[in-house]
C-alpha cells in the first residue's frame, strides 16, 4: 500500500467517526464529488488521484498529503475560494474542483497571481465553461 493510500484510508476513517449517525461510503464519495469506483480505486491503491481530484481531497482534509505524492500544494488563495463553496456536494463539488484546477494551471502557465484582476477573469471564464454560475443551487 502506498503512503497516500494509507493516509487516505486513515483520513476516511477519521472522517467517518466524526460524522453524526452512520455516514457511509456513498455519502463520502458524494462529498468528494467523485463516483464510488474512483474513490475505491484510491483506497485500494489502484490509481493515484491527480489534478482536480487532489483539490477535492484537499478541500475536505487539508493540503498536507500533497507531499506524500511529491506534488506542489495548491495556491492558498485558490483553496480559500474552494473552501468558500464547501457546502457543495456531488457533481457540483467535482465541477468546482475541475474549474479551480484548470484556472490554477492557466494562472501558473501565464505567471499570474491569484489576487490579480487577470486571475479574476480567468476564474470567471473557467467557471462559465463548467456551468457553475447557472448550476449552483
Interatomic CA distance for residues 95 and 101, integer angstroms? 10
Question: For residue 11, what is its C-alpha cell?
Answer: 483520513
The whole-angstrom separation of Cα 56 and Cα 50 is: 10
Confidence of residue 89 (pLDDT cuts 50, 70, 90): confident
Q: What is the pLDDT of residues 29-73, one digit of tens each?
A: 998 999 999 999 999 999 999 999 999 999 999 999 999 999 999
Say how far apart CA 86 and CA 106 lie, in whole Å.
23
Rounded CA gap, 108 and 26, in Å?
A: 34
Give one word for 23, left, alpha or beta, with left for phi > 0 and alpha for psi -120 to 50: beta
Q: Give the global pTM.
A: 0.83
pLDDT at 7: 96
**Which CATH number applies to 3-69: 1.10.3470, 1.10.260, 3.40.50, 3.30.200?**
1.10.260
More confident residue, 134 or 43: 43
Query: Is the CB of residue 122 less than 8 Å from the CB of residue 106?
Result: yes
Domain ranges for the chain, please list them: 3-69, 76-135
Confidence of residue 117 (pLDDT cuts 50, 70, 90): very high
Amino acid at each position: 500500500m502506498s503512503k497516500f493510500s494509507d493516509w487516505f484510508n486513515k483520513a476516511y476513517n477519521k472522517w467517518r467517526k466524526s460524522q453524526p449517525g452512520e455516514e457511509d461510503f456513498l455519502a463520502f464519495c458524494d462529498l468528494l464529488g467523485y463516483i464510488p469506483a474512483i474513490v475505491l480505486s484510491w483506497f485500494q491503491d489502484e490509481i493515484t488521484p491527480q489534478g482536480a481530484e487532489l483539490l477535492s481531497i484537499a478541500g475536505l482534509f487539508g493540503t498536507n498529503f500533497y507531499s506524500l505524492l511529491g506534488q506542489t500544494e495548491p495556491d492558498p488563495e485558490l483553496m480559500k475560494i474552494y473552501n468558500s463553496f464547501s457546502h457543495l456536494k456531488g457533481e457540483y463539488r467535482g465541477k468546482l474542483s475541475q474549474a479551480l484546477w484548470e484556472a490554477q494551471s492557466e494562472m501558473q502557465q501565464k505567471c499570474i497571481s491569484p489576487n490579480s484582476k487577470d486571475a479574476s477573469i480567468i476564474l470567471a471564464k473557467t467557471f462559465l465553461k463548467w456551468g457553475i454560475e447557472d448550476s449552483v443551487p
